[in-house]
Amino acid sequence: MAATETSLSPAVESVVPACMFAPDPDCAEDSPGAEGSDAGDNQNGEAEDHLDLTSKFALVSPTGEQYDCLQKQLRERIEEGCGETIYVVGMGTDGGDYGLDERDMEASVATVQSLCEQVDTDLILLRERTETAGCVRDYLIRRRVGEADFLEVRVAVVGNVDAGKSTLLGVLTHGELDNGRGFARQKLFRHKHEMESGRTSSVGNDILGFDQEGHVVNKPDSHGGSLDWIKICERSSKVITFIDLAGHEKYLKTTVFGMTGHLPDFCMLMVGSNAGIIGMTKEHLGLALALNVPVFVVVTKIDMCPANILQETLKLLQRLLKSPGCRKIPVLVQNKDDVIVTASNFSSERMCPIFQISNVTGENMDLLKMFLNLLSPRTTFKDDELPEFQIDDTYSVPGVGTVVSGTTLRGLIRLNDTLLLGPDPLGVFIPITVKSIHRKRMPVKEVRGGQTASFALKKIKRSSIRKGMVMVSPRLNPQACWEFEAEILVLHHPTTISPRYQAMVHCGSIRQTATIIGMNKDCLRTGDKATVHFRFIKTPEYFHTDQRLVFREGRTKAVGTITKLLQSKPQAKMQSTKKTSSQVEGFSSASEETTQMGGSPQMGQLCGRQQGARKHFVKIETENAEEKKS
């Protein structure tokens, strides 16, 4: 094995050591950090250009043609890793031995440094290890960013109440250890009742910045202890955004909204070593698995937990992760070699790293920080796509006006862009202009797909904006939908689900009650799969097919994927039993007209509002053109 052997106690001997995922010479073609990269299968001496880049000596003295091919491969790997990748020098994919002597290693490193200069990246040494044939080095290659730009990774923090979620975030972001009585978490709470009870009830956001060398740049104010987000972002090449979610059962609605609306890249599941797997732990783990979010586990309070209780907690944890519903491979992280191996395979494998930390003594905190520094965003975005932005919160700032915050789903949004905001209760999208953009409280001129931001909007009231609305490009010609079909799986229900059943639908930042209009089965029970026809009861929404949704009500839970968007059927609501049939027919025909235009059965005034929106849009475009001329 290439990595250091991991010693496990008898109680947790079934937990897989991280060295199981380290590259093996007997199966080296699967090694994730090899020099030949993923394209090595097509370049084994008989593929394009007849170049052999699978050897560990490929970087020692490459020809001009080989150098160009290596540069192309490195560029592709950085694009796949959303701006960074782990590169191993001294290891090939040809099944040969590992290690290079000192002269060959220096030549290989010089080649990699030259490649990094060509693709505008930095080279950071992670570890150096000695094999039988010589030395092997692991490097982190990260794209260089400007002062106003940085890589962003979102991590949702979940777990049962009193597991230490807010305390851990306070220790990570403020750099001060806890005193064992809630000192660290007080800096994160937003409300008075949270400080009094010690329990999070709202979605909190905190950031942890890393520079190019992987060092933490968070430095709290010496007087108030607050963090200056602008200074952190200016010094950082990578920022981890923690989404602090509630652990108490009565705040489950808020936790589900945080998991669906804030679009986390990864999920950090907190487990108290003294309490074990209790309460909402399984609920939150199941939610992350349903949304296809990779999970890593942090076991806290190891300083106060007896050894036998800790081993029992780890034993139950690995049993849960290996169960048929999870099918994860638990990996106990105990040193830096384990961190690099797990971070390299985390997104692509079924691996689930387990960290054991203490917020009071700081034990293993450096391993967790190193792992967070090596995490890469899971999704790549293209700037040439038409922009979409989902709103998850609204504010009214004195002197600024209405401000909305959320996540850019795709595309590029610039200052003074004109977008369509909606849908309103009638399904109409109105044009608005972006007055200013802030990213992590820092003013910027543009935001890209996958980045969170806040926009100040011109000439609109906060009361007319709600969570779940979107801001999209006018070229998309957005349509609001009242009804849709989804393939759902019922995770739990006490009895049966039949048509006309109502429950809360979470889809992105959308959170609204929907009614089941029909399904391809008579009734649904726990474990059933079906195609279900839903209809929102209050307002139409804007979403896409293939989006994940969570369907819940009380103890009922179901997950699924949207498969089809439907046009609403007109529904004539009888306000008086004395209406004539002609009045009802007139109402139905008017409803059909409005349904064809906007998809809402309640759009009696839709035509006039759409015409007004078009006029308003033309007016704003004219004003912007005049401002640019002046």
Of 206-220, 300-314, 492-506, minimum mean pLDDT range? 206-220
Beta carbons within 10 angstroms of residue 525's beta carbon: 13
Phi, psi (rounded to 5 degrees) for 575: -85, -20
Q: Domains (ranges, CATH) in the chain?
A: 31-143 (no CATH), 151-374 (3.40.50.300), 483-566 (2.40.30.10)
Q: Are 269 and 157 in contact (CB under 8 A)?
A: no
Q: Residues of the chain with pLDDT > 90: what percent?
A: 54
Cβ-contact 23, 336 below 8 angstroms: no
* More confident call, 373 vs 10: 373
Mean per-residue pLDDT of the chain? 82
Could you report the per-residue pLDDT of 477-491, keeping only the tens digit for each? 999 999 999 999 999
Q: At residue 156, does pLDDT exceed 60?
A: yes
Residue 29 has pLDDT above 80, yes or no: no
Give residue 352's pLDDT band: very low, low, confident or very high (50, 70, 90). very high
What distance, in Å, lies between the first and last C-alpha atoms of the chain? 69
Q: Distance between CA atoms of 561 and 291, rounded to whole angstroms?
A: 10
Judge whether residue 10 has pLDDT over 90. no
Q: At 130, is the secondary structure helix, strand, or coil?
A: strand
Q: Provide the angle, in degrees to the nearest 10, between the axes of the packed helices 606-629 and 581-598.
A: 30
Nearest to 56 by CA among 86, 36, 81: 36
Residues 6+ apart with CB under 8 A from 259: 156, 158, 245, 267, 287, 288, 291, 293
pLDDT value of position 520: 94
pLDDT digits (tens, 9 = 90+) for 193-226: 666 666 676 788 889 999 988 899 988 766 556 7
pLDDT of residue 248: 83
- Mean pLDDT of the region 430-453: 93
Spell out the residues 6+ positions from residue 227 whose beta carbon is closer than 8 angstroms to its own. Answer: 173, 174, 206, 207, 218, 220, 221
* pLDDT tens digits, 95-104: 556 788 889 9
Cα–Cα distance list, 203 to 188, 199, 225, 437, 514 (Å): 11, 12, 21, 22, 24
* CA of residue 562 relative to chain centroid, distance: 19
Collapsing DSSP states into helix, strand and coil, what is residue 274? coil
pLDDT of res. 583? 40
3-state helix, strand, coil in the chain (%, to 5): 30, 30, 40
pLDDT in tens, 592-629: 444 444 444 444 444 455 555 555 555 666 666 666 55
Q: What is the pLDDT of residue 285?
A: 94
Sort strands 329-332 and 16-17 into parallel, antiparallel or unpaired. Answer: parallel
Tell me: pLDDT of 47 over 80: no
* pLDDT at residue 18, as a whole number: 57
Question: Which DSSP string corresponds to 43-112?
Answer: -BSSSGGG-B--STTTTTS--HHHHHHHHHHHHHHHHHTTSEEEEEES--SSS----B-HHHHHHHHHHH
40 close to 34: Cβ distance less than 8 angstroms: yes
Strands 388-397 and 401-410: antiparallel
What's residue 3's pLDDT? Answer: 39
